[in-house]
Amino acid sequence: MEKRTEFTRDSLEVCRNCKAEGSVYRRTEDGSSHIREICPVCCGSGLVRKHIEGFVSIEPHRKPRKP
């Protein structure tokens, strides 16, 4: 007999790209200096919403028979 459970989980997390600052630095095209711009991942909020979907399947373990 197998048991299967499906789940979804939503959470609010710190943006890993800007580390919750809301902005990141990037080099100029000529490479001479840095420009601070709004983080493209979190759009400046410093937070991201994470959505996880998955399933867990549990089934019995069949031990091999000893000769």
Model pTM? Answer: 0.65
pLDDT of 44? 97
Average pLDDT value for the chain: 93
Count CB-CB contacts under 10 A for residue 62.
6
Predicted confidence (pLDDT) per residue in 6-23, tens digit: 999 999 999 999 999 999
Q: Are 41 and 14 in contact (CB under 8 A)?
A: no
Radius of gyration for the chain, computed over Cα atoms and rounded to the nearest angstrom: 23
Reading the chain (67 residues) residue by residue, the pLDDT tens digits are 789 999 999 999 999 999 999 999 998 888 888 999 999 999 999 999 999 999 999 999 888 888 7
